[in-house]
Amino acid sequence: MPPSFSFQLQHTDANSAARRSTFVTPHGPVEMPAFMPVGTLGSVKGLEIEQIRGSGAQMVLSNTYHLALRPGEDVVAELGGLHGFMGWDGPILTDSGGFQIFSLAHMSKVNEQEAVFRSHIDGRLLAISPERAVAIQEALGSDVAMVLDHVVELPNVPEVVRDAMDRTIRWAARCRDAARRSDQAQFAIVQGGLDADLRVECADQLKKLDFPGYAVGGLSVGEAPSEMYRILDATVPQLPVDRPRYLMGVGRPEDLLEAVARGIDLFDCVMPTRNGRNAMAFTDAGPIRLRNLKFERDPRPLEENCPCPACRRSRGYLRHLFMAGEMLGPILLSIHNLTYYQRLLAGAREAIAADRFAAYRAEKMSGWSTSADSDAIPHTIEP
């Protein structure tokens, strides 16, 4: 691990694999398990930095592919790197662009050397090789840089999954060899689709390359939640105990607690902000869909014990903002949902330290299961 980084595992829950830990970066510590708001373009949509910080967020995520296209990593570097550019003084993680190989498959081609994209903005070509992905992220100046991986749609034929996994390992080695910054930590990404044996093989090969952290990627891309949990059961025990473990692009509150129980430390997902912009609030009693007429005269806050600014208003008022097309509605619900995710994982940290995570998870699951809307939240969310 680079000299300006460290990882301390404080406690493992007595009745699960849930971990309480601290990941120290050049821009401060991250108490884990932790959730990162997604700021793809250097902005968490609709929110000012103080609102993100006020939600309890410790670390944010931005995206290499999108920032390379606009405004360009050279512009970001000239304006102070991502921290100075967006005004966030805490830790930042940048995704390498590997997910766009999957999400923009109709606009990209992959060979052994690189992935070539046709820009969704103006149609020009952008080639991202492992070396180029590292160079862009070093220019952006993030604390954690993800290696370039090859993500494929699931389910898929075994030959395609095997080929993508093998390429991910080779690309990880190239990313490691291309790294130049001592103040940036690289995380490797375990691939292998829904094949548990391939996941174990990939994890074993990546461990030999000795990365400062390890992620599980290529999930929440179309498979059932039970399949994701099965793969985590096989994969997470193969990851180093003394390094951070990151589950990419996940997910629902249920998924977060299920993954924490299996030993995952770090998460990101667009769900809290995207759903907030679409009038859906997360609560301990399940999701609230504010466009429903039953909330028109509801004087209650979204949650009685939530400190966010949205919960200082009534459900009726928040519904009014959405029905009237006022931009304050999406802003307030985005803040509420981010605050909810941060409170959820802060509670998980406390429960792990007290060896009561199983009871905490059961309590939350029980509350969510009573909601008529809980099953309507999609498992797969594209960033």
149 catalytically annotated: no
Active site residue 268: yes
Q: Which of 13, 149, 195, 268 is catalytic?
A: 268
Structure tokens at 126: 């952008």
Short-list 319, 312, 304, 249, CA closest to 96: 249
Catalytic residue among 95, 149, 255, 265: 95
Angle at 51 between CA 284 and CA 316, to 5 degrees: 50
Catalytic residues: 95, 268
